[in-house]
Amino acid sequence: MNEDEPHKIPINGVLDLHYFAPEDLSTLIDEYIHACLEKEIYQVRFIHGKGIGNIRRSVHALLERNPHVTGYQLADESGGGWGATIANLRP
């Protein structure tokens, strides 16, 4: 596959951010939320990893600004614990 070709991301309510550059998060998260809404998926899990928390803080700031997000919280242990955030979307 050519590196310049866009990658297909499955729209299933789970987005692993480990594969993306931090500078792409804003566009990526907004577009993924939009795609989930089109498929009537109203809860999304963003996997940002545990690390030092920079990506988690960025994800939370982006979710705060997104008008489709009604709330978010860190996942429970079965969903990745503090390495993932669950966002609830407005239908």
Q: Which residue in the block uniquely carries the two structure tokens 């310049």?
A: 4
| pLDDT value, residue 4 | 53
Q: Is the distance from CB of 90 to CB of 70 less than 8 angstroms?
A: yes
Q: Give me the tens of pLDDT residue by residue for the chain, a chain 91 residues long.
A: 445 556 688 999 999 999 999 999 999 999 999 999 999 999 999 999 998 899 999 999 999 999 999 999 999 988 778 899 999 999 9
| pLDDT value, residue 82 | 83
In order of start, what are the domains of the chain with their CATH numbers?
21-89 (3.30.1370.110)
| pLDDT value, residue 2 | 44
| pLDDT value, residue 39 | 98
pLDDT in tens, 14-38: 999 999 999 999 999 999 999 999 9
| pLDDT value, residue 1 | 40
Q: What is the SS3 assignment for the chain?
A: CCCCCCCCCCCCCEEEHHHCCHHHHHHHHHHHHHHHHHCCCCEEEEECCCCCCHHHHHHHHHHHHCCCEEEEEECCHHHCHHHEEEEEECC
